[in-house]
Amino acid sequence: MVRAIVAAFVLLTGTVHAAADWKLPEFMISYWGGPKDDAAAQAVVQAGFNTVMSKPDRLDLCRKHGLKAILFDATPELAGKLRDDTAVWGYCLQDEPLNERFPALADSAAAFRKADSNHPAYVNLGWKACPRTFVETVRPQALSYDEYWWWWKGDYFPMLEEYRDVAQSAGIPLLCWVEANTGPDSEVGQGKVHPPDNLPRLRYSVYCPLAYGVKGIQWFVDRLIFNGAELTPSGKDVAVINAELRRLGPVLMGLRSLDVYHYCTDPVPKNTRMLPHHFWVQTATPETVIGTFKDADGGDCVMVVNRKVDKDQPVVLRFGRPVTSVDKFDKQKGEWTKLEVVNAEQFDKREEWAKVFGLRRRGRVAVELTLAAGDGELLRVR
């Protein structure tokens, strides 16, 4: 009866309330798997991970190397003993449950929360799950799901839109899983084929969710990343992006996602929104995603992503309100660098811009930057 009342309230208000007594401590960089010995743990740290999946008997190993662990096979009794253990990230209850499992998971999550309010019960959702029903029923402290664009070839952006909406309504962080190898046979072939364009595809898989406000990237799976204590070719790609996420993460954790828009010359992806003509930041560069954020000081930030995975793109952003400075976060140095703010009229004369700008010709200042294939950049606008 109580759950029925909650569901009715959600239906009427569009609001999902979750257990919010826990806060994500840092931007999560994880993978499906965990180290078995010191050499493997050192490789995990060197590859840029801060969170692993592990059994309780390897918690000391994780602690020794500064890794947080999502624990398999834990019980509420064990959780009560680990409530003050800083090496614990949380407790994995189930991966990819079907909707009918949600009531039982709600009971399990409540038992873990009672035993240990410092660490969340963790459940990851697969593509058949209903995230809104899950949050209504289980009241999780984070929302995690699979987003395997290159394997599924399915509705990538509709899932992002749906999960972002549910997570924001609940006031909980959104985490997503992405594949470490984008080849068609990567899952069954265990990553034996390394696509030459794997890195830009992985960038796409990561930076599009970042534009949507995701607070954690989880890579699937260990065998595609590591060969013992050595990185596979795909693992080297993952490590490159992880290094960027380690620098970006502290900044991203302080941002609140506001809006996400697409600019395309073709129709925008299903369930997404075209960049409005009246919006304060504009572009006429096709196949781009623009996510806007507020930082802790109330300032504006923009994540712009190149959806083309086969080519770099010069991107011009122009602003429909007074702007005095624009900084880009340097993902290699971990610091903000100034971009040149110029008169926007110089771009009006470019043939490709003249064709599409029209009503988008708002504001007299602009910045130009180049986005690598599949890549995204974070800007701070003042």
301-314 pLDDT, tens digit per residue, is: 999 999 999 999 99
CATH label of the domain that carries residue 171: 3.20.20.80
Same domain flag for 357 and 246: no
Same domain flag for 69 and 174: yes
- pTM for the complete prediction? 0.92
Picking from 234, 253, 272, the residue at the C-terminal end of a domain is: 253
Same domain flag for 123 and 138: yes
Question: Is the peptide bond between 240 and the residue preceding it cis, with omega within 30 degrees of 0?
Answer: no
Same domain flag for 85 and 233: yes
User: Count of domains in the chain?
Assistant: 2
Phi, psi (degrees; rounded to nearest 5) at 327: -115, 145
User: Looking at the predicted structure, is the pLDDT value of residue 121 above 80?
Assistant: yes
Picking from 227, 253, 279, the residue at the C-terminal end of a domain is: 253
> Are the beta carbons of 147 and 178 closer than 8 angstroms?
yes
Same domain flag for 350 and 213: no
Residue-level pLDDT at 244: 98
- In the chain the first and final C-alpha atoms are separated, in Å, by 50
| Interval 59-81: pLDDT, tens | 999 999 999 999 999 999 999 99
Residue-level pLDDT at 4: 41
Picking from 235, 253, 271, the residue at the C-terminal end of a domain is: 253
Residue-level pLDDT at 131: 98
Range of the domain at 315: 256-381
Residue-level pLDDT at 187: 53
Query: In angstroms, rounded to a whole number, what is the distance separating the alpha carbons of residues 3 and 122?
Result: 21
Same domain flag for 274 and 240: no
Written as six digits, the tokens of 197 are: 């364009």
Same domain flag for 292 and 210: no
Same domain flag for 216 and 84: yes
Same domain flag for 146 and 195: yes
Query: In angstroms, rounded to a whole number, what is the distance separating the alpha carbons of residues 173 and 89?
Result: 14
Residue-level pLDDT at 6: 40
> What percent of the chain lies above the pLDDT cut of 90?
81
Same domain flag for 83 and 232: yes
Strand partners of residue 378: 303
Same domain flag for 106 and 151: yes
Same domain flag for 249 and 275: no
CATH label of the domain that carries residue 287: 2.60.40
